[in-house]
Amino acid sequence: MVPFMSLRPNREQAGDTASLRLSLPSSLCLAVRDDVREPLPTIQPLGPASRASLSGQPDPYDKVYENMQDKIQALIDKDEIRNLRIRYSHLLDGNRIDALDQVFAANAVVEVTVGRMEGLEAIKAGLKDAYALFDRDRRDHYPFMHPIANHLIELTGPDSATGSCYLIDFETASKSDPNPLLLLGLYADEYRRIDGAWRITHSQLDVVWPTSKAPPQSKGQA
């Protein structure tokens, strides 16, 4: 807790230099000089080596960082892309699969443990089947949870990007094994801006754990 302090200013003149001093405990002495007008330091832009991609090469769309406006737009784009994965988890886990047109392009391709789904309607149908398989308690919400982490995004053009993020998949429905951890995986995605909105155009899930390529307990996961 900060000790009691008086915010009543005290002005002490020393020649033509004025100093504004707050009445603070000696351990928290603070002085603000009103005669100092030093220029702000120049902030140097990051070099290409600081923006290396997953491949170890500079970002192929490096020109998005050439000026402040482009930097801000890049941050906005990456935030919108990052929200696609967050929205996907909430819509899938909350059984709002019909709203996945907010996430995927109409011609999107999704490759998961049970195979390849092409087109938005096929993706919705496949995820509904997976949901029914895991909703053993018939709660109609959250039979599994898909937290994601370490989402790395690279802009590859004005309207295209790639990204990868970790998946920690939990199974919350009743089962004989009390351990809720279902699998650990990695999403590799491709994104495009379509009619002004970012969408996933291709997604592939690589199951890292369990080590089996298609373990029985991961059936239907996406």
What is the three-class DSSP state of 99? helix
Third-level CATH fold of 61-218: Nuclear Transport Factor 2; Chain: A, (3.10.450)
The count of C-alpha atoms lying within 13 angstroms of the C-alpha of 64, restricted to the half-sphere facing its C-beta, is: 21
Element holding 85 (H helix, E strand) = helix 68-93
Q: What is the pLDDT of residues 67-102, one digit of tens each?
A: 899 999 999 999 999 999 999 999 999 999 999 999
Q: State percent of the chain over pLDDT 90.
A: 55
- Do residues 181 and 161 make contact, with C-beta atoms less than 8 angstroms apart? no
The 10 Å CB-count burial string (b at 16+, else e) for 160-185 is ebbbbbebebbbbeeeeeeeeebbeb
Percent of the chain scored above 70 by pLDDT? Answer: 66
Instruction: Give me 28's structure tokens.
Output: 């928290």
Q: Are 86 and 148 in contact (CB under 8 A)?
A: yes
Torsion angles phi and psi, residue 217, rounded to 5: -75, -10
Query: Could you state, in order of their start, the residue ranges of all structural domains in the chain?
Result: 9-37, 61-218
Q: What's the distance, CA 106 to chain centroid?
A: 23
Q: How many helices (H) and strands (E) does the chain have?
A: 2, 10
pTM of the model: 0.68
